[in-house]
Amino acid sequence: MQENNGKMIDAGAGLTLWAEDFGAPEDPTVLLVMGAQAQGVQWNDGLVRRLVEGGRHVIRYDHRDTGRSSRVDFAAHPYTVADLASDALAVLDAFAVERAHLVGASLGGIIAQRLALTDPHRVLTLTSLSSQPLGTDTAGAIQRAMAGLAPSPGQLPPPAAELLAVLMTSFPEPGAGLEGYLAARLPMWRVLHGPELPFDEEEYRAMEERVHGRAADIGAALNHALAGAAGDSFTTADLAAVAAPTLVLHGTRDPMFPPPHAEATAAAVPGARLVMLEGMGHTLPLAVDGRLAAEILAHTGG
Question: Mind telling me the catalytic residues?
Answer: 106, 254, 282
Cβ count near 270 (within 10 Å) = 12
d(CA 83, CA 69): 14
Separation between Cα atoms, residue 274 and residue 260, nearest integer Å:
11
* DSSP states of 105-123: ETHHHHHHHHHHHH-GGGE
Question: Helix, strand or coil for residue 236?
Answer: helix
For the chain, the farthest-separated pair of C-alpha atoms sits apart, in whole angstroms, at 53
**What pairs with residue 102 in β-bridges?**
31, 126
CA atoms within 13 A on the CB side of 124: 18
Burial of 287 (0-12, 13-18, 19+ CB in 10 A): middle
- Residue 296: what are its φ and ψ, rounded to 5°? -70, -40
The alpha carbon dihedral of 110, 292, 273, 89 has a sign of: positive
The number of angstroms, rounded, from the C-alpha of 238 to the middle of its chain's C-alpha atoms is 21
Going across the sheet that includes 273-277, the strands are: 7-12, 15-22, 57-61, 29-33, 100-105, 123-129, 246-251, 273-277
Helices (H) and strands (E) in the chain, counts: 10, 8
How far apart, in Å, are the Cα atoms of 1 and each of 23, 92, 192, 242, 280?
Answer: 12, 22, 25, 34, 24
